[in-house]
Amino acid sequence: MELAQLRYFVAVVEEGGFTRAAGRLHVSQPGVSAQVGQLERELGQRLLDRSGRRVTPTEAGEAVLVHARAALAAVEGIRRTADEFSGLLRGRVALGLIPGAAGAAIDSFDLVALLGDFHDAHPRVEMALTEDTSERMLAALREGGLDLAVIGLAGEPPQGITARLLLDEPLVAAVRAGDPLLREAVDGAVPLAALRGRPLIGLPRGTGMRGVLERACAEAGFTPRVDFEAAAPAVLARLAARGLGVAVIPDGAHAQAGPGVRVLRITGPELSGRVALAWRADGPSGPAARALLARLRAALPPEPGSGG
């Protein structure tokens, strides 16, 4: 019995077929069939039911599958341990980002530069980057689909999640020059209640900034009328510049929309858009993700009260 046979068997079960398993393993389909067939002959048991459209494990296959996965996990653990002692790190890190986070330098926290430095130091580590809403990324962190995420926070992080603040920026109302809202402004500010019933432009549901807006409006006794949505604050500002409504955006985003935008502070209450680095409270499971988290945290300013 060889590890390759176990690996091919597990891949066929997880992919539901030999062809998809071969594609995942970057080998030929006949090679996968031959190796799994050899495993079945060695064990004297039929492990896979090939009669349906999808290949499924037999009763014996289900029992063997548990031990096959455990054996492969044990081998990977041995490899990781040896790599840690030799200073060689490998593995995969799944990192989630809110749209625009990869291209933004937040004070000294330049994510692209930090990821590039980490890749230079650990070229065998695969990094998978995805963009999504904060709500879905928090769920993926809890379920283990993500190791780390840069999210927008509408409040305190949920139970089981640790977050370090990267940015805390006022949210403002951006409008086109000549918009009626400008006439209601006093000293460059409008109350949140002035947005009641107005066409608003905001981030999609599930984002931290949208959560901040919806929560504040609910406390003020109304539901925000969001007519247009976009994933990036700079796009929201550009939509406001075309007169499509009032964009609720971080203060720094309006500069990318050009000179046709006017910005008003929001008061009663003031709103804040917060961006944070988040991970499971018990820490990422893999050594590569733990090493990346340590590097990212080292780039952050000391936490208040840390004495650093």
Angle, CA 80 vertex, CA 79 and CA 86 arms, to 5°: 90
Q: Strand, helix or coil at 95?
A: strand
Q: CATH 3.40.190.290 region(s) of the chain? A: 168-273
pLDDT digits (tens, 9 = 90+) for 260-302: 789 999 998 999 988 899 999 998 888 889 999 999 998 887 6
Q: Which residue spans of the chain are classified as CATH 3.40.190.10?
A: 91-166+274-298
Predicted confidence band of residue 308 (pLDDT cuts 50, 70, 90): very low
Q: How confident is the model at residue 28 (pLDDT cuts 50, 70, 90)?
A: confident
* pLDDT tier, 162 (very low <50, low <70, confident <90, very high otherwise): very high
**Model pLDDT for residues 39-65, shown as the tens digit of each residue:** 999 999 899 998 888 899 999 989 999
Q: Which of 161, 155, 158, 195 is nearest to 179 (CA)?
A: 195
CATH number for the domain running over 168-273: 3.40.190.290
153 phi/psi in degrees, rounded to 5:
-105, 125
More confident residue, 84 or 259: 259
Confidence of residue 248 (pLDDT cuts 50, 70, 90): very high
pLDDT over threshold 60, residue 80? yes
* pLDDT at residue number 164: 92
Give pLDDT, residue 234. 84
First to last CA, the chain: 54
Q: Where in the chain is the domain with CATH 1.10.10.10?
A: 3-86
More confident residue, 90 or 47: 47
What is the rounded average pLDDT for all residues in the chain?
87
Which uninterrupted H or E stretch holds 188?
none
Task: Tell which CATH classification among 3.40.190.10, 3.40.50.1860, 3.40.720.10, 3.30.465.10 matches the domain 91-166+274-298.
Answer: 3.40.190.10
Q: Return d(Cα 12, Cα 18) in angstroms, integer.
A: 5
Class of CATH domain 3-86: mainly alpha
* Residue 255 DSSP one-character state: G
Residue 219 is predicted with a pLDDT of 94
Asked if the peptide bond before residue 269 counts as cis, ω within 30 degrees of 0, the response is yes
- Across 141-146, average pLDDT: 90
Answer yes or no: is pLDDT of 29 > 80. yes
Q: Are 271 and 213 in contact (CB under 8 A)?
A: yes
Query: Is pLDDT at 83 greater than 70 in this prediction?
Result: no
Q: What is the pLDDT of residues 186-235, one digit of tens each?
A: 999 999 999 999 999 999 988 888 999 999 999 999 999 999 999 888 88
Look up residue 79 and give its amino acid. R
